[in-house]
Structure 1
């Protein structure tokens, strides 16, 4: 059974309402949590690409990435849980895992199921909520993985145009 139904949540995947790259985050994270996510990507065999600026590099350990100088360019890790669905992890801070998704890629029940599965995998691994905020409102999540129910749930009322 799907965590969410497309007809119920499609407004949260409208790039005009949410911004095309809403933030997905795991608050209260640690360096160990970041490493767990990096390990999960490898274990699941998800296609990925780590880069610092324009340079593509092997994925380092989380503590090495997060210990970079303050003025260094922010590295990113592109992860494709399936072809056509991209998440871009940005190593801004060690206390919050932060990544973007492109809503233009998430426009069907099938893609929604992949996205929910991806959030579930991360949330289960970390035992923490994984929250999606509108691009312009990073403190009011609209949906996310709920640890207690072990599924992705709505956290806001659907928007009406």
Structure 2
């Protein structure tokens, strides 16, 4: 199923224009929503790896991860919806599910379809929109899963949005 056409949205997947690691998020969530994402990963059989710092651990319950002390290192869950596409979830807060994807992995129609399918699965499970903001431009989504349309839609006009390249932000590891 094709939600978006590559030729229509390729500018949003250009690392020189949007940064290589856009922010993908589900606002207005709870611990229950985070657990829904963890359950979805298991149900779909997506390969995953949970870690706290350099230590790889079994995937815990969301409640345990999100109730860690404030000074604790932020855990992450790496999820591969396909062998060539990685999403990295970071458990910063319970009120927003957020993750990064690498735009260099999302080139062409086939990878775009994979990405849209991934957003659709998360949005359907949580019953909430899933939004993608350019790196460093939080709060200005360019595309996202629309609940009513039950598909990923454009939220910005590609012709108007990018007149100059966005400053690339180097991710912290």
- RMSD (CA atoms): 0.8
Q: Could you say which residue in structure 2 is the equivalent of 1:97?
A: 97
Question: What TM-score do you get using the length of structure 2 for normalisation?
Answer: 0.92
Query: How high is the TM-score relative to the length of structure 1?
Result: 0.98
Q: Which runs of 4+ in 1 moved over 3 A?
A: none
Residues 34-84 of structure 1: per-residue CA shift (max 9 Å, x gap): 000000000000000000000000000000000000000000000000011
2: CA distance between counterparts of 1:109 and 1:116?
10
- Report the equivalent of 1:63: 63
User: Within 1, Cα distance between the matches of 2:136 and 2:30?
Assistant: 25
Q: Distance in 1 between matches of 2:34 and 2:136?
A: 25
Distance in 2 between residues matched to 1:10 and 1:160, nearest whole Å = 12
Inter-partner Cα distance in structure 2 for 1:45 and 1:114? 15
Q: How many angstroms apart in 2 are the aligned matches of 1:84 and 1:44?
A: 16
Does residue 133 (structure 1) correspond to residue 130 (structure 2)? The answer is no
The Cα shift of 1:128 comes to 0.2
Q: Distance in 2 between matches of 1:18 and 1:43?
A: 32
In 2, Cα distance between the equivalents of 1:12 and 1:156?
10
1-side partners of 2:162 and 2:32: how far apart?
40
Secondary structure (helix, strand or coil) at the match of 2:68 reads coil
| Corresponding residue for residue 114 of structure 1 | 114
SS, match of residue 138 in structure 1: coil
Report the counterpart of residue 8 of structure 2 in structure 1. Answer: 8
